[in-house]
Structure 1
């Protein structure tokens, strides 16, 4: 019996001095171990939580289940609604893993923690405790988030790239068709940009693309509007809650802003200025494309028509039908 108690005491002391922040709940959800590393992570002394169910105060500003509580309650199905990421690989055995932003009220503010929780059973298979361990991976998460932003942002102009444009278009399409609100799209091309590049060089071309991105963004004034670099010298604008007439008005505003900027294009002559060809399409009361791809193809066809019409103009699907 003494040997068994000795092993038990050793296990507790080992848990208390683990370098990994760890706490243990008994089968009723009361804290029985809150180790030194957990004290350092949260700023909460073991004496303040041992014997209580207030372990949540170390990680959240309002009472809510920790992962260990979900193990006791067999509540794995709640993880997606409570945690940023569910990483569980063996949920059938009530071994849960998750990641979450936690607000450590006393010491560190908002931190991103990787959390693991699993049950401890006695010889008869009865639950006697749950162990939860935590790792602060805030630095890795912030680096990952920055990479994800960069992956969706055009590195030259700083506006969304094609990948993010596609995501926004799909999301706005679902909203528009689900609520029967209009949705418009502009496809924009810089006229004779090759002549500009060939004459002034690619550094000047990059500066020009950044300037055009600024001008287009300035004319898409609502927070819900999305201006993206679609590729090369082509831009695209998503205009939620906007019908075709509204899209044409925005397109003309963009064309006028570029005209007023008076950006030289000496590749076409000493007095030539950059102009824009714009195609507009919409999902609205008069236009019913059946998918976001069809909406995009419609705007692209209108853009092609604008180029074929001599450039420096705005065209819509209705102008194609008239032709």
Structure 2
């Protein structure tokens, strides 16, 4: 049996040999020289970006293959010693092994040529000469779009109500806390609506749980249709919904509440369980001015109390309570 000896790397051309290896990799990779020009763009990179090597070699336009608007690639940042900007440009980044030479980062890329937005993970390694100076930078890429989309889907499942598609209680609690802190910083009012379906037990008794679920879905759509971009509507629990209205006065909250009440009434969902009436909602509204020594739980309690009054007063109506909490002077 003969021993198989590895072919020697030509001593006079180690860099050319390395480039040939990169060219044959199934992993997308490109190389920038010391002047930031593309000196290698392998076939896998062509396949990923839709940009052929001859279109980009010798240019400083590697970024055009990934973004609609000018911005540096990760390799550019390393080459130009601008790694302090990585956090602002990428969703996530790290230095593998804790070293200073290599850098990894992830972000969404526009991919102008292919027209398909992709989530790419980039790994960058500088090539040094005998004196330690950077003569080139290698960037390899991994398409992690499927993994990212799966992560987003899981996150949405964790924050959305399975029946209505609205935000769930956990998302409501987190958002209310964040909006309370924002209102505190900016000195703006924060309003909250608590919306409850009237006589829902009788509706469930008359139509069954399947009918009740369909009713809640219709009402959820009606409530959500009245929201602004920054508002949040959540299923608070059972047949109760909560609406967070950032930077909204009590007067504005009352207008939104009345629009919601009317829209639900216009659905004309018959409730045979209560004398052939239509399904309606009662709404409690509260507005607060956040202060350092307060928390949003008081706003929830105030809106709940207003909702109870609306129920007590005959249902299918709104009840308002202004709760201004100001810092002690």
Q: Please say whether Structure 1 and Structure 2 have the same fold, judged by a TM-score greater than 0.5.
A: yes
1:280 partnered with 2:258: no
The structure 1 residue matched to 2:295, chosen from 291, 296, 301, is 291
Q: For residue 32 of structure 1, what is the aligned residue in structure 2?
A: 39
1:41 partnered with 2:48: yes
Q: 1:106 to 1:176 in 2, by over 3 A?
A: same
Q: 1:161 to 1:178 in 2, by over 3 A?
A: same
Q: For residue 118 of structure 1, what is the aligned residue in structure 2?
A: 125
How far off is 1:52 after superposition? Answer: 3.3
Please tell me whether the aligned partners of residues 113 and 134 of structure 1 are also in contact (alpha carbons under 8 angstroms): yes
Q: For residue 215 of structure 1, what is the aligned residue in structure 2?
A: 222
Q: 1:7 to 1:121 in 2, by over 3 A?
A: closer
CA separation in 1, counterparts of 2:62 and 2:264? 59
The structure 1 residue matched to 2:145, chosen from 106, 130, 138, is 138
Q: For residue 189 of structure 2, what is the aligned residue in structure 1?
A: 182
Using the TM superposition, name which of 186-195 and 229-238 deviates more: 186-195
1:234 partnered with 2:258: no
Q: 1:274 to 1:2 in 2, by over 3 A?
A: closer
**Partner secondary structure for residue 201 of structure 1:** helix
Structure number with the higher helix fraction is: 1
Q: 1:227 to 1:37 in 2, by over 3 A?
A: same
Matched ranges for 1:261-276 at <5 A: 261-267=267-273, 269-276=274-281
Using the TM superposition, name which of 198-207 and 186-195 deviates more: 186-195
CA separation in 1, counterparts of 2:199 and 2:271? 8
How far off is 1:96 after superposition? Answer: 1.3
Q: For residue 318 of structure 2, what is the aligned residue in structure 1?
A: 314
How far off is 1:91 after superposition? Answer: 5.9
How far off is 1:165 after superposition? Answer: 2.8
Using the TM superposition, name which of 71-80 and 247-256 deviates more: 247-256
Matched pairs, number:
316
5+ unaligned residues in a row in structure 2: which ranges?
1-7, 324-329
Q: 1:94 to 1:11 in 2, by over 3 A?
A: closer
Q: For residue 64 of structure 1, what is the aligned residue in structure 2?
A: 71
Please tell me whether the aligned partners of residues 190 and 233 of structure 1 are also in contact (alpha carbons under 8 angstroms): yes
Please tell me whether the aligned partners of residues 90 and 96 of structure 1 are also in contact (alpha carbons under 8 angstroms): no
- Indicate the RMSD between aligned Cα atoms, in angstroms: 3.1
Please tell me whether the aligned partners of residues 60 and 104 of structure 1 are also in contact (alpha carbons under 8 angstroms): yes
Q: 1:6 to 1:180 in 2, by over 3 A?
A: closer
Q: 1:221 to 1:33 in 2, by over 3 A?
A: closer
**Cα shift readout 1:291-321 (whole Å, capped 9, x = no counterpart):** 33332232123334444556444334469xx
Q: 1:98 to 1:303 in 2, by over 3 A?
A: same
